[in-house]
Amino acid sequence: MNRLRGAVAAIALLCPGCAGVAVTPLGAVATVELRDAGSQVVGQATLTEVGGGVRIVLEATGLPPGPKGVHLHATGTCERPAFTSAGDHFNPKNAQHGLRNPAGPHAGDLPNITIQDDGKGRLETFTERVSLGGGSASLFDDDGTALVIHAVPDDFTTDPSGNSGARIACGIVEKRAPRP
């Protein structure tokens, strides 16, 4: 079983942007419905536990064009209009912010998503810094976790938030019931 998990993780790592690659879920699955400040649905995400980490696929629509920061935030609430109720970035190890910061990253730091001129964007990524299971890296702690899209791109170094600007969309990470 460990070899299978490793093989699936290797496929996910080698081809994180391949839309046509099917990854067999090995564990828990979560979903997120992202809404903007006007309560319009502007995206969906699926988080799937695979081979020692979590695969995240985010589909966004109806957002302003350009690159945008994406983060998992420490609290599973999304009160409009500013979404500050989601708290700081998910950071159980108290690291500094930034995928390029030698003292980072936060567990919730993710790559940017690029929104095209038609308002659509897609992000596929894999992270070993969070879990859909138990432990300190679990996104299902007592107060939950939110997925947030910011107004501008994350610079991947500046603590505490990568200068990623206002929060323009937010959704709560929710467990999905296992398939029969």
* Domain spans, the chain: 2-16+27-175
What residue ranges in 26-89 does DSSP mark as E strands? 29-35, 41-50, 53-60, 66-68, 70-73
Confidence of residue 178 (pLDDT cuts 50, 70, 90): low
The arithmetic mean of pLDDT across residues 67-86, rounded, is 97
The answer on pLDDT for 7 being more than 50 is no
Q: Which CATH architecture has domain 2-16+27-175?
A: Sandwich (2.60)
Confidence check: pLDDT of 23 > 80: no
Dist CA 43 CA 60 (whole Å): 4
pTM assigned to the model:
0.83
Determine if the peptide bond prior to 67 is cis (ω within 30°). Answer: no
